Chain A
Amino acid sequence: MSASVPTVGSWHRLDRAGLQAVIDVLWLVGHRVVGPQVADGAIVIRDLRGVAELPTGWLDDQDGGSYRLRHDPVAGTFDHVVGPHSLKNFLFPARETIASFVQLNGSWSQTPPPAQVPPLAVLGVRGCDLAALAIQDRVFLGSGYVDEPYKSRREKLFLVAVNCRRAAATCFCHSMGSGPAAGPGFDLALTEIEGGFACEVGSERGAAVLAEAVAAGASIGGCSPEEVEAARGVPQALAARMHARQQGDGEPRPRSLDTHGIRDLLMTNLEHPRWDEVAARCLSCTNCTLVCPTCFCSSVQEVADLSGDHVDRERQWASCFSLDHARMHGHSVRSSTAARYRQWLTHKFAGWIDQFDTSGCTGCGRCITWCPVGIDVTEEIAAIRASGSGAAPPDGAAPAGAPEAGETAS
């Protein structure tokens, strides 16, 4: 084994005790540590004190409109994929005060923002989660005005990523270029290997935390070049299976999406009959937008205390599926479900490219799993491609206009 002083780019071998030491150090230096755990029949993200709370041995069977946990004695700690929660729940919470006002002697004034919450460390984030974070960064930090609450949490965020070695049937990160390998953007990244984890250091902060864990007595060794290669091969092998649309062990094959020219495909098919067809199934329940890790719409409510002299302006998640979203003069600009579904899909996969120079979709599959009627974005887009104007001819011969950078046909 090589020397094991953690530096950016170095690899180390951790057993479960080593991972526990990392969690302990993160709490000790003042982070709130959260990670995946089984609760209420799903794998959710919540406060994490110990490795014993991680969902070792649990697998999630996901498909359109369905999510089931299954115990498998040979499954690892991170062989489940993404659940209903994402980093969005923590960095852009569903409710949050964005401004406060107090009235004194008949005169109102705005009060400074409340004291900041402790820094957050998240264990178990996937490639698609990191990609979603980079997308929300563009929304809240990169478009001129800076969202201060998001920024202060984002700057202190510590990320322990995981390289996936299994995909669910709803995953299509390989099509969106966001996974299954994690990165960039993590502080530490874990790959499950025989007897523990290979841990790649992604940042100075990651190196410091790992060094602290070593100082605290954790046995954290170096990885041999062969071990590094084997660890890198884990998500690569999964990516190859996803591109080949195969999955091992009798599991359903992952989804996939042809993204060639997708912006123009959708924007030239705003009147496609498929919008009415999907609207006949869509309940306009907003689930897809709530679980989507990149959706950023919000509205603001006034929340007053009993005296009425203290008012918080509370930002709450909003959804393009609700009639309130595009309310004007007492009616909704998008009064039909077809128009609202079209807004969701065209924004996510087309408008986002104009607005933020990136797709709004990471291929995490959450919207497919958590849609009560199993509506599937990949299927809707494929249907439009198959029959819409400007539809791509077969064999991937792309229509006029080069594909966007980072697009992958599969």
Chain B
Amino acid sequence: MSVSVSGAAAEKNPWRSHTARICTITPETPGVRTYELELEDPVERDHYRFAAGQFNMLYLPGIGEAAISVSSDPAGRDTLAHTVRAVGNVTDALARLGPGDQVFVRGPFGTPWPVAEMLGRDVVIVAGGLGLASQRAAILFLMAERACRSVTVLHGAKRPDGLLYGREYDAWRAAGVAVHTIVNEADASWSGPVGLVTDLLTDSLRDPSATTILCCGPDPMMMGVAKAAIGRGVATRDVFLSLERNMACAVAHCGLCQFGPLFVCRDGPVLPYERIAELLRIPQV
């Protein structure tokens, strides 16, 4: 599966939003909910395709728009899942909505995780906090494809109650996905490891030269993961990061998401580490 902004998208008005209804809202972690959205227009619903790692612009009239990863299975045809942390204007307003309420959707935008090219490889998915939202689609895709040799999820959170999608780990494990979690600060409920997600990396790199790393989280965390993985023998070209930047248009017109010569909305959010390592090293690029 490869997705590019061409063909049908090329002549599309990028500001056209499609109306959707909230089907279900699932509370995840404190302040974080997953919204299952259904596009109202059946033609649009049928036409809509996304790849794991891409995002939508969710819009509430009069309030504003926010970039949110699509976190459902890319093979799913009915609803689109978005896992959202309420942190500000749009996301707080979303948190006040309920099932049946209306949300506008533009998308999908951006580059996908390179999950279609994982034949015979070990895939290690490293997620810091909410980063896992964009990778859930990749996990579900890889579970269904069964083309790679192994899938390992390393998920770190500040506290145990920040670990995302806990209720799904059993299903992931049943499908052969190894899931390891770690927290910065333990509480009474926690018996697992305490530390940084990079601490989990060593044990998961059985065959570094055949391993691909898919990492999403805060910039410093991703740089730490990339360096640690490369230090343990993973090829630089096999490390992929998903970046987050400010964005208004999502189609490389508004310029807000620029990172060096890259438009994060179009050239990213998923980018090969090889391409951005030097830019990430320099503060405030």
Alpha-carbon distance A302/B283, docked complex (angstroms): 32
> A327-352 toward B: CB 8 Å interface, digit per residue (1/0)?
11110011110110001001100110
Does any Cβ of A come within 8 Å of B147's Cβ?
A: no
Does any Cβ of A come within 8 Å of B266's Cβ?
A: yes
> B239-262 toward A: CB 8 Å interface, digit per residue (1/0)?
000001110110111111010110
Does any Cβ of A come within 8 Å of B65's Cβ?
A: yes
The interface residues of chain A lying within 8 Å CB-to-CB of B258 are 320, 343, 347, 351
Of the stretches B14-22, B131-139, B181-189, the one at the interface is B14-22
> A256-294 toward B: CB 8 Å interface, digit per residue (1/0)?
000000000001001100000000000000000000000
Nearest A-chain residue to B64, judged by Cβ = A302
Complex contact A147–B14 (CB within 8 A): yes
Of the candidates A110, A140, A146, A343, the one whose C-beta lies within 8 Å of that of B11 is A146
The interface residues of chain B lying within 8 Å CB-to-CB of A329 are 87
Q: How far, in Å, is A346 (CB) from chain B's closest CB?
A: 8
Does any Cβ of A come within 8 Å of B43's Cβ?
A: no
Residues 289 to 347 of chain A near chain B (Cβ within 8 Å): 296-300, 302, 304, 308, 311, 313, 315, 318, 320, 325-330, 333-336, 338-339, 343, 346-347
Query: Can you name 20 A-B residue pairings with CB atoms under 8 Å?
Result: A101-B61, A103-B61, A110-B17, A139-B253, A140-B253, A145-B5, A145-B12, A145-B14, A148-B13, A271-B282, A298-B254, A300-B249, A302-B64, A311-B61, A326-B245, A326-B246, A328-B245, A335-B284, A338-B284, A355-B252
Q: Looking at A99, A147, A299, A351, which has the most chain B CB atoms within 10 Å of its CB?
A: A99
Interface residues on chain B, number (Cβ under 8 Å): 41
Alpha-carbon distance A315/B13, docked complex (angstroms): 15
Beyond A144-B10, A145-B5, A296-B255, 14 additional contacts (C-beta under 8 Å) are A108-B61, A108-B104, A144-B5, A270-B282, A297-B255, A302-B61, A302-B62, A311-B62, A318-B256, A320-B258, A326-B246, A328-B244, A328-B246, A351-B261
Complex contact B252–A270 (CB within 8 A): no
> A147-169 toward B: CB 8 Å interface, digit per residue (1/0)?
11000000000000000000000
If A325-B246, A336-B284 touch, whether A108 touches B255 (CB-CB below 8 Å) is no
Q: Is the interface of A mostly helix, strand, loop or mixed?
A: mixed
Alpha-carbon distance A47/B266, docked complex (angstroms): 38
Which range contains the number of A residues in contact with the other chain? 35 or more
Alpha-carbon distance A145/B251, docked complex (angstroms): 7
Does any Cβ of B come within 8 Å of A2's Cβ?
A: no
Alpha-carbon distance A107/B61, docked complex (angstroms): 11
Does any Cβ of A come within 8 Å of B55's Cβ?
A: no
Q: How far, in Å, is A188 (CB) from chain B's closest CB?
A: 30
Alpha-carbon distance A296/B253, docked complex (angstroms): 7
The interface residues of chain B lying within 8 Å CB-to-CB of A330 are 88
Q: Which B residues fall within an 8 A CB radius of A?
A: 5-6, 9-17, 19, 61-65, 87-88, 102, 104, 244-246, 248-249, 251-256, 258, 260-261, 263, 266, 282-285
Does any Cβ of B come within 8 Å of A116's Cβ?
A: no
Complex contact A144–B248 (CB within 8 A): no
Complex contact A300–B65 (CB within 8 A): yes
The interface residues of chain B lying within 8 Å CB-to-CB of A146 are 10-14
Nearest A-chain residue to B5, judged by Cβ = A144
Q: Which A residues fall within an 8 A CB radius of B?
A: 98-99, 101, 103, 107-110, 139-140, 143-148, 267, 270-271, 296-300, 302, 304, 308, 311, 313, 315, 318, 320, 325-330, 333-336, 338-339, 343, 346-347, 350-351, 353-355
Q: How far, in Å, is A379 (CB) from chain B's closest CB?
A: 23
The interface residues of chain B lying within 8 Å CB-to-CB of A311 are 61-62
Q: How far, in Å, is B88 (CB) from chain A's closest CB?
A: 8
Complex contact A144–B251 (CB within 8 A): yes
Alpha-carbon distance A351/B285, docked complex (angstroms): 12
Nearest A-chain residue to B18, judged by Cβ = A110
Complex contact A110–B6 (CB within 8 A): no
Alpha-carbon distance A323/B15, docked complex (angstroms): 25
Alpha-carbon distance A330/B91, docked complex (angstroms): 14
Complex contact B15–A313 (CB within 8 A): yes
Complex contact A109–B282 (CB within 8 A): no
Complex contact A107–B102 (CB within 8 A): yes
The interface residues of chain A lying within 8 Å CB-to-CB of B256 are 297, 299, 318, 325-326
The interface residues of chain B lying within 8 Å CB-to-CB of A355 are 252, 261, 263
The interface residues of chain B lying within 8 Å CB-to-CB of A327 are 246
Nearest B-chain residue to A113, judged by Cβ = B13
Nearest B-chain residue to A92, judged by Cβ = B253
Q: How far, in Å, is A317 (CB) from chain B's closest CB?
A: 10
Nearest A-chain residue to B106, judged by Cβ = A99
The interface residues of chain B lying within 8 Å CB-to-CB of A302 are 61-64
The interface residues of chain A lying within 8 Å CB-to-CB of B12 are 145-146
Alpha-carbon distance A145/B64, docked complex (angstroms): 21
Alpha-carbon distance A299/B255, docked complex (angstroms): 9
Alpha-carbon distance A110/B105, docked complex (angstroms): 11
Alpha-carbon distance A103/B65, docked complex (angstroms): 17
Q: How far, in Å, is A410 (CB) from chain B's closest CB?
A: 25
Q: How far, in Å, is A310 (CB) from chain B's closest CB?
A: 9
The 8 closest A-B pairs by CB, nearest first: A297-B255, A339-B284, A354-B261, A351-B261, A144-B5, A145-B251, A101-B61, A99-B15
Q: How far, in Å, is B250 (CB) from chain A's closest CB?
A: 9
The interface residues of chain A lying within 8 Å CB-to-CB of B284 are 333-336, 338-339
Alpha-carbon distance A335/B283, docked complex (angstroms): 10
Complex contact A298–B14 (CB within 8 A): no
Nearest A-chain residue to B282, judged by Cβ = A270
The interface residues of chain A lying within 8 Å CB-to-CB of B260 are 267, 346, 351
